Amino acid sequence: EAQVTQNPRYLITVTGKKLTVTCSQNMNHEYMSWYRQDPGLGLRQIYYSMNVEVTDKGDVPEGYKVSRKEKRNFPLILESPSPNQTSLYFCASNFRLGADTQYFGPGTRLTVL
Amino acid sequence: AQSVTQPDIHITVSEGASLELRCNYSYGATPYLFWYVQSPGQGLQLLLKYFSGDTLVQGIKGFEAEFKRSQSSFNLRKPSVHWSDAAEYFCAVSTDSWGKLQFGAGTQVVVTP
């Protein structure tokens, strides 16, 4: 089954404690991205990757890091989380958009105390 | 500046009544257009998309959307709403062929008996 998986689905942490949210897709997609969803703001792109070792900032990259060492995985790293990073996070992947659609993971709800 | 606007934050509709959700975009060229639905506590599900061709697009769950270039709009419609349609609906656009999506703020739909 084609899917994007994220782990963990729920996470409560404290300010400053480094964390990683994993994302994996089994569709051999080149493009992967991370979004955060906040009430009244919709989803905003944090980072994206066009292929292995190719990553770039989205609209709200501050406080986040990513890596793309393998095509299937695209982890999101919060080196020093702060309360304003409390949000719902979605990973997504796709081939070139004109020929396909973007597939979203189930989401990770992060709370930073 | 590029933007996606969903003018209605919240809509209440009676079961069996028709539904129309508005979406306007501001981009230089015709973008790729999408509607997603997010049920409570769930991830994003693609309802329909427009890349090119026929401007009236049919999607899943009985939804359709019409692209109007002159109005820069991509409104979503359903002739008869079911209680299970209660959810948040997001319009999204992309002007690059890779995958960056720009989302509207979302419209919350409440369905009353």
| Whether residue B100 has pLDDT greater than 90 | no
The encoded tokens of residue B13 equal 């509709």
- Whether the CB of B86 is below 8 Å from some CB of chain A: the reply is no
What sign does the CA torsion over A108, B4, B64, B32 have? negative
CA-to-CA dists, residue B17 to B78, B111, B113, angstroms:
9, 9, 10
Distance of CA B92 to the CA centre of its chain: 7
Neighbours of A17 (CB within 10 A): 12
pLDDT band at A99 (very low <50, low <70, confident <90, very high): low
Q: Residues 53-82, chain B: which have Cβ within 8 Å of A?
A: none
- Whether the CB of A92 is below 8 Å from some CB of chain B: the reply is yes
Percent of chain A predicted with pLDDT > 70: 96
Q: Are A67 and A55 within 8 A, CB to CB?
A: yes
Nearest CA among B4, B2, B1 for reference residue B104: B4
Which tens digit of pLDDT belongs to each residue from A50-87?
Answer: 899 999 999 999 999 999 999 999 999 999 999 999 99
Q: B8 CA to chain A: closest CA distance, Å? A: 11
